[in-house]
Structure 1
Amino acid sequence: MQVYVVGGAVRDALLGLPAGDCDWVVVGATPEAMTERGFVPVGGDFPVFLHPRTHQEYALARTERKSGRGYQGFTFYTGPEVSLADDLRRRDLTVNAIAQTRDGQLVDPLNGVADVQARILRHVGDAFVEDPVRLLRLARFAARFSDFDIAPETLALARHMVGNGEVDALVPERVWREISKGLTSESPLRLFEVLAATGALARVMPGFVMDAQLGDRLACAVAHGLALPARFALACLASPQPELLARHLKAPTDVIDFARLLPLALQGLGQPLAASAVLSLVEQLDGLRKPERFVDLVQAATCVLPDDFANTLLPYWLQGLQTVRAVDAGAVARACAGRVADIKAAVRAARLEALQRLLAVKDGRGDHPA
């Protein structure tokens, strides 16, 4: 049997990018031959095996045929007679359809190397329209490789995919998988631009609003290295119901929570700085139990608030969280001498008093916070 590295590892090596996980294709083998060599079968729809020592994935070369609607509507065929070229022709983009032998020789029947050099994202063939996931991947790769252009004929095929309703077969979990990768890429704005240009944005992210400030918010998120929950919340800030959109996409809980809380954070941070305002926001955002998320929310808010907020007010809000958390609630409770009904109010009063001392600094009556 013959073994080749395929796809992203080859593409990224040509671009001089760090090597990621290697995907291997095996030509001229059968499932029985793979198991006899110690490979462990893990594939569901088609034969994929784990190497007995490296645990990397090895897939048998295969062809595919459209048999139904959506990205799952395919039947696959694997057999020792399926060639490497057959396998490469079923892939999405030419830059992802390059193979390499173990000794470093490139196998490039679809001219993917030329498209890597020309910085072009081009579909492999007309079968591109048969799998709606390819449209999402096109948008995601455009976000990752910001200096790549999309071939006009590829964009036209993507629009056709939306027009014929194929994209409507995508399930939210699959949409989220590609959206999340695009958001954490170098140029997340391009993800939404490509989806909008193809007409797919309203289909896969119903209710999402692209406003004029979207690019600035996402560029700020990239510049500050903000994590996925913050990037999604910033992207959806102009949308009327960002939390519901996150739920529709079956996003993780931390993403849903961030989408719900960022508008509240912005509302609170927009209030005049006062002890009561700081404490109310800490309570509203559950900063006592989840201080790291509170900090992340405030930092994400700096991508929306005026520039002078980060330089002048941000240190006080962050120090305010530390001040509230530093109050010894247990000691306050013990001082209430068994008056259980008074404990909650007493703890809150102690926290307000500590914040008032902190904010006296801002008015010039003390040292600045660390």
Structure 2
Amino acid sequence: MTPLKIYRVGGAVRDRLLGLAAGDQDWVVVGSTPEAMLARGFVAVGQDFPVFLHPHSHEEYALARTERKSGLGYRGFVCHASPEVTLEDDLARRDLTVNAMAEDDQGRLIDPWGGERDLHERLLRHVGPAFAEDPVRILRLARFAARFSDFRIAPETMQLCRQMVDAGEVDALVPERVWQELSRGLMTAKPSRMFEVLRDCGALKRLLPEVDQLFGVAQRADYHPEIDTGVHVLMVLDMAAQLGASLGVRLACLCHDLGKGTTPADVLPRHTGHEGRSAALLQPLLKGLRVPTELIQLADLVAREHGNIHRSTELSPEAIVRLLGRCDAWRRPERFAETLLACECDARGRGGDFSRHDYPQRRTLGQALALLQSLDQAAIVAEARARGAEGPAIARALDQARAAALSQAAAQHPPKV
């Protein structure tokens, strides 16, 4: 058989030049056909264009292809793969110059669009006008801006994104694709940058109008020196990244204050009751994006209870027991721990010196839950039943025993002044 012309392409080349750890390897095969790939033992997996799994490494190998726009959205393409498609043709269809480089089997760089130069200049720049044909590229640009936060975006690339938004391209994106890119952007070291880029080009208003509406909404300066609610949410996101939070916590941070965008102007900068409004807004938003149910549940819990958790150091033992019950902390202690982390991010993701503040609520509520989980609940239930208690009365007896345990612990270890 004639040797295949195989090139390493895309992110693996970019990251090697940046000195970053290698991730997934992407390969392009030039001058071959699907039949020839199958004859060599490759396994076909692509539906929209020819992609194959290597018989041994199981890495993806795609035939060099071109794309032609055929409709709105990222699915509106006709792909063409044939032996006549060159490597340069394939690289020309890619989004950013830093992602449009390749290496041959000798490690030689093929860089027809100046990606290496743009890496040195810390610049995110589109390859060519074909960028405008795929609205997913706006999301990818924003995600790369968050991942490589010291890179700037070329003005002409941002202008092209604005034109795409004005043309209605982002309105054709399917929810699953939006969530896929948002979730990856949330997990970067500076997720705020993704939302700044989306807002700058107008895409945030189309994709996440509830988030976009937060910008320009005032908060009390004594609690929020940054004042602007949208700015606060981005600061909370970056605090979540700084603390190594999970995707669920970061999503909860993004959505925890959505209700502030609906506060009547005549009561600003106060936001009484925004917790319930936030929960009501995030449910249709996240369900519409096809976000996993467990992540929606965590975001809902943080939205509803973050104010109460912030005030928990002032609550009575009985109120703390009720709070833990509303959070279903007895059955879902891991989710409660994530809820507390999201609340710490909220408390510290503010202007002034709030980022350096301690957040004792996370520690004390965690300790309270641990204490109450150590109670002999079976004995408490048995004693209540011996007194003739049934149903709700047994639940009340459990809560009374939990509150008594918290009161006793507080008396033995009073808070330090």
One fold, TM greater than 0.5? yes
In structure 2, the partner of 1:296 is 338
Q: What is the 5 A alignment of 1:22-171?
A: 22-171=25-174
Identity %: 49
Q: Residues 172 and 24 from structure 1, CA distance in 2 versus in 1: closer, same or farther, beyond 3 angstroms?
A: same
* 2:411 paired with 1:360: yes
What residue is the counterpart of 1:247 in the other structure?
287
Letter in 2 for 1:234: C
The 10-residue stretch of structure 1 (164-173 or 84-93) with the greater mean CA deviation from structure 2? 164-173
Give distance in 2, aligned partners of 1:268 and 1:11: 46
Q: CA deviation at 1:361?
A: 4.2
Deviation at 1:102, TM superposition (A): 1.9
Q: Could you tell me which of 217, 232, 244 is aligned with 1:213?
A: 232
> Using the alignment, how far apart are the partners of 2:110 and 2:70 within structure 1?
29
Give the AA of the match of 1:111: G
Amino acid at match of 2:257: A
In 1, the alpha carbon distance for the partners of 2:135 and 2:360 equals 48
Following TM superposition, by how much is the alpha carbon of 1:215 offset from its aligned partner in structure 2, in angstroms? 3.1
**One-letter amino acid matched to 1:354:** A
Return the match for 2:366 from 311, 318, 321. 318
Deviations 1:287-346 (A, max 9, x none): 111101101111211122365974544322111111222222222222223643442222
Residue 340 of structure 1 is matched in structure 2 by 390
1:282 matched to 2:324? The reply is: yes
Q: CA deviation at 1:159?
A: 0.3
CA distance in 2, matches of 1:315, 1:69: 50
CA contact (8 A) 1:92 1:124 kept: yes
In the alignment of these two chains, the number of paired residues is 365
- Indicate the RMSD between aligned Cα atoms, in angstroms: 1.7
Change (3 A) 1:361 1:4: farther
**Which residue matches 1:191?**
194
Conservation of the 8 A alpha-carbon contact between 1:6 and 1:23: yes
Q: Does structure 1 conserve the Cα–Cα contact (< 8 Å) formed by 2:9 and 2:102?
A: yes
Structure 2: gaps spanning 5 or more residues: 216-229, 260-280, 349-353
Match of 2:376 among 328, 331, 334: 328
Deviation at 1:263, TM superposition (A): 2.4
Cα distance in 1, alignment partners of residues 192 and 403 from structure 2: 41
Judge conservation of contact 1:10–1:100 (CA < 8 Å) in 2.
Answer: yes
CA distance in 2, matches of 1:225, 1:90: 35
Q: Which of 251, 257, 271 is matched with 2:297 structurally?
A: 257
Paired position in structure 1 for 2:308:
268
Q: 1:33 to 1:87 in 2, by over 3 A?
A: same
Contact 2:317–2:406 (8 Å) recurs in 1: yes
Contact 1:217 1:234 in 2 (8 A): yes
- In the alignment, which residue of structure 2 is the partner of 1:226? 245
Distance between the aligned counterparts of 2:369 and 2:357, measured in 1?
17
CA deviations on 1:123-172 (whole Å, 9 max, x unpaired) are 01111111100111011100100011000000010000001111110111
User: Which amino acid is 2:305 matched to?
Assistant: A
CA distance in 1, matches of 2:307, 2:359: 19
TM-score normalised per structure 2: 0.84
Instruction: For residue 362 of structure 1, report the CA deviation from its aligned partner.
Output: 4.9
Aligned-partner Cα distance in 2 for 1:361–1:79 = 78
| AA partner of residue 48 (structure 1) | V
SS at match of 1:340: coil
Amino acid in the other structure paired with 1:358: A
Gaps of 5+ in 1: none
Q: Any conservation in 1 of the 2:344–2:359 contact (CA below 8 Å)?
A: no
CA contact (8 A) 1:275 1:359 kept: no
Residue 63 of structure 1 aligns to a residue whose secondary structure is strand
Larger mean CA deviation between 22-31 and 237-246 belongs to 237-246
Q: Per the alignment, do residues 236 and 248 of structure 1 end up closer, same or farther by CA in structure 2, a change over 3 Å counting?
A: same
Distance 2:91 2:361 in 1: 55
Question: How many Å apart are 1:348 and its aligned residue?
Answer: 1.6
**TM-score w.r.t. length of structure 1:** 0.94
1:5–1:101: 8 Å Cα contact kept in structure 2?
yes
| 2:19 pairs with 1:16 | yes
| Contact 2:255 2:303 survives alignment (8 Å) | no
Aligned partner (choices 3, 8, 20) of residue 6 of structure 2 = 3
SS of aligned partner of 1:234: helix
The 2-side partners of 1:42 and 1:328 are apart by: 55
SS in 1 for 2:258: coil
Distance across 2 between alignment mates of 1:213 and 1:314: 20
Contact 2:50–2:63 (CA<8 Å) still a contact in 1?
A: yes
Report if aligned partners of 1:233, 1:242 keep a CA contact under 8 Å in 2. Answer: no
The answer to whether the Cα contact below 8 Å between 2:101 and 2:109 also exists between their aligned partners in 1 is yes
> Which range moves more in the overlay, 252-261 or 19-28?
252-261
Measure how far apart 1:237 and its partner are: 2.5
CA contact (8 A) 1:48 1:57 kept: yes
